[in-house]
Amino acid sequence: MTTDSRAIVVASPQRRRFAATLAQRIASFIITLAVTFVGLTAVTFFISRLTKIDPVLAVVGDKATKSAYDAAFRALGLDQPLYVQYLIYLRRLLSGDFGVSVLTSRPVLDDLLRVFPATFELSTIAIIIGVAIGVPAGVIAAARKGRWIDHVIRIVGLFGYSVPVFWLGLVGLFIFYGRLGWVAGTGRLDVFYIDVVTQRTGIILLDAALDGNWDVFTNAFSHLILPASLLGYFSLAYIARMTRSFMIDQLGHEYVTAARIKGNSFWRTVWRHAFPNILVPLITVIGLSYASLLEGAVLTETVFAWPGLGNYITHALFNSDMNAVLGGTVLVGAVFITINLICDLLYKLVDPRLRAR
């Protein structure tokens, strides 16, 4: 097991200060989380005020009498000052009341929980693909800096940064489904496989495996693999680039030269000595790209008719179902913010160079 030489150096005097600041950091983390969440809900509240849809008419219908309209107006708290309305909104959100979806006439929170597993399944497989290819690619690019393989990996990454995800999805469907027939088309399952397995988790691969129904598993996999690979490609581009720059930094250290002089082979030095030292920032990067996959799924899901969060939000959007749109925004935003800030905290906690600040 290799140890980080710098970690030993900073042990005793700073360890104590670190313990003292740990409580501070966690407190500051919670405050930041709260402030950011208030900011997010303030923005969604503001957006809900911007819409031209009258919230009272949505409740009472357009044939209501004047008195019924006024009663509903007051019941919704619209006669209160704006900040009181915001507080009412915040209290409703905290108690899990996201309003009722006009489209499905069910509570928005139920809808969101129902569609979330599909997005979770897609982005999890995508991040696995992104990490499995992106990390080795970044390490190899750094170890072979300036050679042809480095340039190839850089160009593949640049393409990932530049290509519109919805377009690549369409082209992928055209080639791999339309022309080659290697994968299944849109949706999560073929029609005759839908509702065959018992819903336990909502994650079809897992449900099918638990039922032992391998036909469904294979079918779900052939639906999943194309959108997941595409999303994975986008996180791969980011992960590979960051891994490369972390590794280049590590490989410049003297301990790498020392390890080589002691007779370790080049690749052993790279993987066993340098690589463990980039794990901390790397985990942060992976966490961040996982969070952004939730977001990136919006367009991918639309192209692949994948019944997840993104599809739900865009579908609601076109039916002026603002409760559903804003509920989805709050949920994606909350997950995004939480992962973001946890990564930030983790990074500060574990990297000694950032503790001092």
Partner 1 sequence: MTDTLSSWLTTDAPASRRQAVLGNLYRGGTAILRNPTALVGLIIVALLLLAAVFAPLLSTYSPIAQDLPNRLAPPSPAHWFGTDELGRDILARTLFGARVTLTIVALVSIVVAPIGLAVGTVAGYAGGWVDAVLMRITDVFLAFPRLVLALAFAAALGPGIENAVIAISLTAWPAYARIARSETLAIAQSDFIQAAVLQGASTWRILFRHIVPLCLSSVIVRLTLDMAGIILTAAGLGFLGLGAQPPTAEWGAMVSSGRDVILDQWWVATIPGLAIFIVSLGFNLLGDGLRDVFDPKSA
Where along the sequence are the contacts to partner 1 (CB under 8 A)? 32, 35-36, 39-40, 43-44, 47-48, 50-52, 158-159, 161-168, 170-171, 173-174, 178, 291-292, 294-296, 298-299, 302-303, 313-314, 317-318, 322, 325-326, 328-329, 332-333, 336-337, 340-341
Nearest residue (CB) to partner 1, 119 versus 269: 119
Nearest residue (CB) to partner 1, 28 versus 199: 28
Nearest to 327 by CA among 309, 340, 341, 342: 309
Give, in order, the Cα–Cα distances in Å from 152 to each of 139, 157, 333: 13, 9, 35
**How would you class 162 by CB atoms within 10 Å of its CB: exposed for 0-12, middle for 13-18, buried for 19 or more?**
exposed
Nearest residue (CB) to partner 1, 16 versus 179: 179
Q: Partners of 107 in the beta sheet? A: 100
Nearest residue (CB) to partner 1, 277 versus 292: 292
CA distance 133 to 131: 5
Find the shortest distance in angstroms from Cβ 309 to partner 1. Answer: 9
Residue 195, sorted as left (phi over 0), alpha (psi -120 to 50) or beta, turns out to be left
- Given a contact cutoff of 8 angstroms between Cβ atoms, the answer to whether 316 and 324 are in contact is yes
Nearest residue (CB) to partner 1, 43 versus 64: 43
Q: Tally Cβ neighbours within 10 Å of residue 258.
A: 13
Nearest residue (CB) to partner 1, 273 versus 315: 315
Nearest to 128 by CA among 233, 270, 274: 233
Q: Partners of 100 in the beta sheet? A: 107
Alpha helices in the chain (DSSP H): 5-9, 12-50, 55-60, 66-75, 82-94, 108-143, 148-162, 165-172, 204-211, 214-251, 254-261, 266-268, 279-304, 309-318, 322-350, 352-355
CA distance 231 to 245: 22
Find the shortest distance in angstroms from Cβ 296 to partner 1. Answer: 8
Nearest to 303 by CA among 206, 231, 202, 222: 231
Find the shortest distance in angstroms from Cβ 206 to partner 1. Answer: 26
Nearest residue (CB) to partner 1, 135 versus 303: 303
Find the shortest distance in angstroms from Cβ 274 to partner 1. Answer: 20
Find the shortest distance in angstroms from Cβ 121 to partner 1. Answer: 19
Nearest residue (CB) to partner 1, 21 versus 186: 186
